[in-house]
Structure 1
Amino acid sequence: MTISNNRLSGPVPEYIGNMTLLVNVSLETNLFNGSLPAELGNLVNLQKLNLKANNFTGEWPVELNNLTKLIELRISSNSFVGKLPNFESWKNLRMLEIEGSGFEGPLPPSFSVLTSLEELRISDLNGVASEFPSLTNMTRMSKLVLRSCNIHGNIHDSVAEMIALRFLDLSFNKLEGGIANLEGVTGMEATYLTGNDFVGRIPDWLTSRDTRNVIDLSYNKFDESSEPSTCRDNLNLFRSFKVENFVERGKCFSASPCSEDKYSLHINCGGGNVTVGDTTYIADEDSAGAAKFVYWKGNWGTSSTGHFWDTDVSLNDHKAKNVSAIKGDESQLYMTAHLSPLSMTYFGRCLANGNYTLTLHFAEIVYRDNQSFQSLGRRIFDVYIQDKLKFKDFDIKRLAGGVDKALKEKFNVTVKDKTLQVRFQYAGKGTTSIPSRGNYGPLVSAISLEAKKKKQEIDGTRIKRTRSANWYIYFQTN
């Protein structure tokens, strides 16, 4: 029973539990809501169950522990409550995906029975922190994602036993210590350790691996002295070191020193130079990547992280082009956009300290507004400014009132240390299969930053003179 990518809504009918010969059920990308019926536990022959991208709520029914023949379970992007399911009955599982599901941690010890797993993807858990789970005897594992799961401590030694491991994503946790115990996992194609508290030296065996390997170490606290002598496009070291001024430090930051303060910044994300009135938006046409730090843009740059799952990836997947027309004076800004499967940061440098107006330009140009399934996509992501969460579960299409409609969000920001950061992050929610597999994640069309005071008002002082009776009074104002 495969009824994916439709507008079916309401609760799942209980009578589905009577179809006991079913081996495959996919309800992915619909509008089903409410709690899962306990009767689904009667589907004792079920091997694959896909409930992704719906609006399911409530706790996980214990009756589903009867599904002992399951080899694949996908329940991402829902609004379940309570603890993660107990995995003890699902010893045959080969694929388990629970991203942005609403469940709470900690990660249960029942993981240890899942020795047949080939792919494990869990992300964005609520609740308390937990240590890295023991994944002993999971030698078949090829893809391991434990992202934003509030995991602290060291990477468990069981990961080193995964001789078949090709993709590892442990981003945005609280992992600490070093990463020396990953040296023996030699078949890696992508390693994402973004947003943790790793310290010490970056191991030479990691940075000397084949250049086809993707490695992202951004947002960590490694020793700056261990930075490799050469830089490459598939090694992201943005904010990888424990230094005060991350922008001006590091061999891979080859931009010239700031010769003068800047008071504005305008970027056309994913496109060429565009002039709107008297303002020119600078081209941002370089391909983003799975672990790429673009550092030579003068007074700005980008950092991109992540892997588009369930699809063959090309560099074009990190860009979007509009196939219709958006009207208005700024229409050219919305003809292109940058995409990211996980995290995308734009940073400005050489900015005068002070107060600014930041404008983020969005338009949903991937999904369509027609009678086909391509109109059913839901893009949801988070927005951080200066490392502070400003938008949770941001949905361009919903806020703009449809696709191909310009949406501008303005913020008052304060620049300190002459730098500004804007980060867009995928948190496991929304659809991933419209218009094709691997279409999801943050999307931004343009970025504009303007100082609230003119240059001369920031740099120095103004002298005002006013007359009162026979006195002249001088005021000096900052």
Structure 2
Amino acid sequence: MAVPFFLSVPLLLLLCQHGSGFNKLFSDPSSEGSPCSQENPYTAERLPCAEVDALENIIVKLGFQKPSISHNYCSPSDDKSISFECGCNESTSNSCHITSLVTHRMPSHGQIDERLSELTHLNKIDLSNNQLHGTIPESLGKLTRLKTLNLGFNLLSGQIPPTLGNLEALETLDLQANFLNDSIPPSLGKLMNLTTLSLSYNMLSGRIPKELGNLLNLTILTLSENRLSGYLPQELGKLRKLEQLSLHSNNLTGRLPQSFVNLKSLHRFTVSGNKLSGEIPPFIANFTKLTHLYLMGNDFEGELPPRIFNLSGLEELMVSDLKNTSFRFPEIGNLTSINYLVLRNCSLTGGIPDYIGNNWTSLEYLDLSFNDLSGSIPQSLKKASLERLLLTNNKLNGSIPPWILDRTDKADLSYNNFADFIKDNITNPAHRDSTEVKTLDPGKPNMDSILALSKKCTSKHHSLFINCGGARTNAEGNPYDEDLSTETFFSVPGTWAYSCSGDFIFTTRNSSEFVKSMTSGVSVPQESLHKTARFCPVSLTYYGFCLRKGSYTVKLHFAETIYTRDEYYSSLGTRIFDVYIQGERKLKDLNIIEMAKGPNVEWKTNFTAIVDDDNPLEIHFFWAGKGSLRILNGPLVSAISVTPNFDVNDGKLSASQIAGITIGCAFAPLLLFVFVWRMRLLGNRELRGETI
């Protein structure tokens, strides 16, 4: 319909005067958002303007772009980085509120704004996987409607605010994988609706609060990979609904509390890598729902309760380093669901039972190393699904079944007494005077082969210098040999060798990764001996051959060059291992970072070693399961020097002395001739004087 002429002129003037405002007058208010004012405190989505203003500040501080004025928070969005949900109460008011704030694993590198506490209707906050830094605001304790708070996998630091204990509706609190320190607030024991509490992979210290025993609805409690210490609270035994209790890789001491007998709902029970002591309680065998049981790397004594071998639902069983014990496999074992079995350094005796292969057919990983097992490898093991087989350091004998090399990804049968071996493949040296011995034989090396190498001496020497994991270099006035081999066994004939045994549990890594260089960007002197290192998953042994009999000073150089980076959480790792020299433990629970006061910092220590004519010098680094269960755990060393504590001349003339004598003998006749000539000349002068 045409507009009458008498109306068209005023309309045209109005359009010119108000410009874009004219468009707003006729546009859909929901498309642009209603202007906020004292008279209109709500947006078009009926959200309080104050709430939206706070939300915009929160979004920007998180590291995301500021939303446009027309942004719809309560409608589905194509934005893949952050999303919201709204709740509206149609019965009591005409307003809506933000009830959920979720980021979608899009690293934003921002911080958590204090104003987040102004969104008081939030019931879900998930800001995980964003590399957020800064601290957790104490004001979050005002969000009493909150049911889920997930801030995991960020770079947050500082303490856990005690005010989080005010979140009475909270059901899930996930703060794992940050850099939170200080102690766990006892106030968290007031969160009576909590079902999940995950604080793993932080820097939390102090004791576990006994108040956590009040969380009777808790089904998941993970406190692993921290720095917690002290005894386990008896009160945790009240958590009868608990399905997962992860406490591994801390500094916990004492015994497993008797009150834990009530935790019969457990599926996962992990206490590895602590300092727990006493016997392994028999009541663990009553946890019939268990699928994962990690007890390795503690100071437990006595045998593993035999009834644990009847937990038919158990998928992963890991035990190591039991003390004051000697026991055999039980006659019957019903671990029919087992996938991973580690019984390392447990003083197991007797033979390997046939039922492991006959009945445990899902078994993929078997580690029975560092025990006293005897007999042969049963043919029945062929029936299992073995991918990795570790039987090193036992007393096994007989022949190595051919199927082991054909069917397993890795087999370590070294340091046993097997009768026959596959012929060594000795390659030409890649570097000047090095001879690398590669082996396809899982039964080598053994002590016979090591002793044989120690007898192949063309000469004796009185010092040894090795730059572990690095190239040939000069340092401290001495020439250090290169140590760059990527094999599990390497020998420089007549001088030294190393042997690496064991494997990582949760991943497969090639031995080429056992040589590590310092993280780039760290400035060190050119001649530094801690720029590189050699490490090994479980056992690393260096042998010194053809050393003269006597007393030596062994200097060991260490620097943590792997657990160093915050962005990958590796700096949260704890490397703990033991050091043995000539079979005697010299260091227990060595923590390099603790001794050096930080990563990428060198720490050195000296020991005395006696070498005789019958055995080589042996320097052994061994991971007893303590500290982190991370991928790159195990012992690590940067350099080794061995120097004599005796007169290297031993009453004999040194080379320099011999050279001096030789030169002296050569010049003696000439000196005598000169002397005689001068005397005759002097005599003639005196005679002429008397004549005058």
Paired AA for residue 619 in structure 2: V
1:407 corresponds to 2:610: no
- Alpha-carbon distance in structure 1 between the residues aligned to 2:401 and 2:249: 41
Moved more, 74-83 or 175-184: 175-184
Q: Which residue in 2 is equivalent to 1:439?
A: 632
Q: What SS is found at the alignment partner of 2:237?
A: helix
Q: Moved runs in structure 1, 4+ residues, more than 6 A?
A: 369-372, 458-463
Q: Distance in 1 between matches of 2:624 and 2:469?
A: 22
1:175 corresponds to 2:361 = no
Q: CA deviation at 1:425?
A: 0.3
What corresponds to 1:469 in structure 2? none
User: 2:242 is aligned with what amino acid?
Assistant: L
Task: Write the distance in 2 (CA, Å) between the matches of 1:80 and 1:233.
Answer: 39
CA distance in 2, matches of 1:248, 1:83: 38
Instruction: Determine the structure 1 residue equivalent to 2:392.
Output: 194
Q: Does 1:75 align with 2:271?
A: yes
Quick one: structure 1 residues 276 and 122, their matched pair in 2 at CA, closer, same or farther if it must change by over 3 Å?
A: same
Write 1 or 2 for the structure with the bigger share of helix.
Answer: 2
Aligned equivalents of 1:160, 1:45: Cα separation in 2: 35
**Secondary structure in 2 aligned to 1:168?**
strand
Trace 1:305-454 onto structure 2 (pairs within 5 A). 305-323=501-519, 324-325=521-522, 327=524, 330-331=527-528, 333-368=529-564, 374-416=570-612, 417=614, 419-432=616-629, 437-453=630-646
Cα distance in 2 between the residues matched to 1:227 and 1:316: 24
Identity %: 35
**SS of residue in 1 equivalent to 2:382:** coil
Contact 2:473/2:480 (8 A) holds in 1: yes
Q: CA RMSD in A?
A: 3.0
Distance in structure 2 (CA, Å) of the matches to 1:410 and 1:429: 23
Q: CA offset at residue 236 of structure 1?
A: 4.2
Asked if the contact 1:217–1:240 (Cα under 8 Å) also holds between the matched residues in 2, the reply is no
By percentage of residues, which structure has more strand?
1
The reply on whether 1:123 has 2:326 as its aligned counterpart is no
User: Which residue number corresponds to residue 283 of structure 1?
Assistant: 482
- Which secondary structure does the structure 2 equivalent of 1:65 belong to? helix
| Residue in 2 that maps onto 1:146 | 343
Structure with bigger RCO (C-alpha 8 Å, 6+ apart): 1
- Tell me the equivalent position of 1:240: 446
Distance 2:480 2:348 in 1: 40
Q: Find the aligned partners of 2:569 and 2:401 in 1 and give their Cα distance.
A: 48
- Name which of structure 1's ranges 343-352 and 413-422 shifts more when overlaid on structure 2: 413-422
CA offset digits 1:334-375 (Å, max 9, x no partner) = 111011110011112232333322211111222339799554
Give the structure 2 partner of residue 273 of structure 1.
472
Q: Which amino acid aligns with 2:278?
A: G
Tell me what 1:468 maps to: none
Alpha carbons 1:183, 1:206 under 8 Å: kept: no
Distance 1:164 1:449, change over 3 A: same
Query: How many angstroms does 1:273 deviate by?
Result: 1.3
Query: Unaligned regions of 5+ residues in structure 2, if any?
Result: 1-196, 426-437, 658-692
CA distance in structure 2 between the partners assigned to 1:248 and 1:74 by the alignment = 40
Match of residue 108 from structure 2: none
1:398 offset after TM fit, Å? Answer: 2.1
Name the larger-Rg structure. Answer: 2
Matched, 1:18 2:214: yes
1:20 to 1:296, Cα distance in 2 relative to 1, 3 A: same
Name the counterpart of 2:37: none
Contact residue 422 and residue 441 of structure 2 kept, 8 A: no
2-side partners of 1:135 and 1:16: how far apart?
Answer: 39
More displaced stretch, 64-73 vs 383-392: 64-73
Confirm or deny: 8 A CA contact 1:87 1:114 kept in the other structure: no
Inter-CA distance 60–42: structure 2 relative to 1 (3 Å threshold): same
Q: Aligned AA for 1:108?
A: P
Change over 3 Å in CA distance of 1:179–1:274 after alignment to 2: same
Distance 1:408 1:10, change over 3 A: closer
The one-letter code matched in structure 2 to 1:194 is T
1:428 counterpart letter in structure 2: G
1:213/1:366 CA distance change after superposition, 3 Å: closer
Unaligned runs of 5+ in 1: 464-478
Residues 273-328 of structure 1 deviation map (CA, whole Å, 9 limit, x = unaligned): 1122542211111124xxx2223555222110111223352445423221254655
Q: 1:125-164: CA deviations, max 9, x gaps?
A: 2233222245622232221110111222222333223212
Aligned to 1:184: 382
**Which SS does the other structure have where 2:402 is aligned?**
helix
Quote the Cα distance in structure 2 between the aligned partners of 1:15 and 1:455.
Answer: 65
